[in-house]
Structure 1
């Protein structure tokens, strides 16, 4: 099972940069997109519904903002829009495909980088999403929650960690939340199961030739339940082409929907 996740920074922009031509050769079973930044009527062209996939878009109420999507080879039993948040579901930050024994979700966590108001919103999101994750843990199925979590967990996950200790995305409170996710709730950072190397980033600023110099952050994850953590086989961050300020995160799992849970 191959799952690809990408913050597209505008699905129409990514399309112009060749994302769909690249995707056609990837043999992905599920594709999770974030920050699509388009209403569905604006992407009616067949390009945005790749051949061989069941495609699901969730648009934010605010135009040109946020948005998540899923492309699935196998038709899901159902698709769930949102995670039950009165504040954040209108921003279209979570969509989940339910298969036999498996759920795959696309998540776009808020950024707090624009200022204190959005950082406080991000903290509220973390509190609500923790409650949701605790419910997930009680369900008899495996989960893959893909996307832009907007937090670099450890020093290895950010090039300039000393200079970012007081910046959104690397705040002590945010990193402690990630500790809770992996240590207490026992979710697994699937990428790190197979790739412990430094300098492996998924996002780069558009300033200062950051991508060219690989001065980046690893803020895109595939977070999985423990049963899938044991089934990670390969991981890659594709940097051969530039579709967005983020790079596609590709994970291969030794798993087929229907092989566990219910």
Structure 2
């Protein structure tokens, strides 16, 4: 990273890599120059990606594809070569859905992972909400065990708005997926017991309407900023303490989500 000691990390749900590419995401990356971007909902297979999207703006992609075509899938594009890449977190059910890719950057001084993760949505009905709860139950102990071994930053679409300040219409959404009491309690428990830090909230504890990262395509949600904060950087405490600057980019729309970027004062 030359003379700079800042590591610029972006997270973005693409809602389809081909769609986002058609809306100019690579040009934006070339201008903003992140060191790494974690993306979710790639909605493509290896054959769709190779030779077209396996690198973006000089960043090399590492993927975890869903078994089902046109569904889910995550990737992390990086300027720095990882020492290891882990696709999947060992779940018999959810690794088939392409929800987790981890880049490891190990040195004598630090074991650091950058993770791109896409949590299930439960908005389509009871069956998927039940799957979402199974994912949360399985993922919590995995992250707790990982934290004992490594520093990490998990970037992704968590599909949960944690607190009332994280969505516009919180009163009307208390019985809806993404703002259910059980989901919010899971986030609280993750941070209190596992010790992970919500980096955006660490930097912007009082932010409300400026914090939203997702807007429904129904009605005029985007125009009226009727949004939700669903996209996070969740970091182990030592790395979170190195976060210096955050931004949510809204001037262009690459998908129904906005990119969330944090600059950390660290070197890989």
Shared fold (TM-score greater than 0.5)? yes
Q: 2:266 aligns with which of 247, 255, 259?
A: 255
Taking a change above 3 Å as real, the CA distance of residues 210 and 51 of structure 1, as seen in their structure-2 partners, is: closer
> Which one of 192, 200, 212 corresponds to residue 201 of structure 2?
192
Alignment partners' CA distance in 2, 1:156 and 1:193:
14
Q: 1: distance between equivalents of 2:98 and 2:55?
A: 19
Query: C-alpha deviations, 1:158-213, integer Å up to 9, x for none?
Result: 10000000000000000000000111211000111112211110000001110111
Indicate the SS of the match to 2:32: coil
**Match for residue 66 of structure 2?**
60
Within the candidate set 122, 147, 152, 1:112 is matched to: 122
CA distance in 1, matches of 2:152, 2:54: 26
- The alpha-carbon deviation at position 43 of structure 1 amounts to 2.4
Name the residue aligned to 2:226: 215
Pairing partner for 1:11 from 14, 17, 31: 17
Secondary structure of the corresponding residue to residue 20 of structure 1: helix
Matched, 1:146 2:142: no
**2:132 aligned counterpart, secondary structure:** helix
Asked if 1:168 is matched to 2:174, the reply is: no
CA distance in 2, matches of 1:50, 1:91: 23
- In structure 1, the residue corresponding to 2:136 is in which secondary structure? helix
Tell me the distance in 1 between the aligned counterparts of 2:147 and 2:133: 21
SS at match of 1:145: strand
1:26 aligns with 2:23: no
2:44 is the counterpart of 1:38 = yes
Aligned to 1:122: 132
For 1:222, what is the secondary structure of its paired residue? strand
State the Cα distance separating 1:136 from its structure 2 match: 1.1
In structure 2, how many angstroms separate the alpha carbons of the residues matched to 1:34 and 1:19?
Answer: 14
User: 1:85 maps to what in 2?
Assistant: 91
Please report the TM-score for the alignment, with normalisation by the length of structure 2: 0.93
TM-score by length of 1: 0.96
> Retained in 1: the 8 A contact 2:29–2:57?
no
> For structure 2, which runs of at least 5 residues remain unmatched after alignment?
1-6
Name the SS of the counterpart of 1:131 in structure 2: helix
Q: How many residues were matched structurally?
A: 256
SS of 1:123's equivalent in the other structure is helix
| Deviation, structure 1 residue 48 | 4.6
Counterparts of 1:46 and 1:125 in 2: how far apart (Å)?
31
Q: In 2, distance between residues paired with 1:250 and 1:184?
A: 26
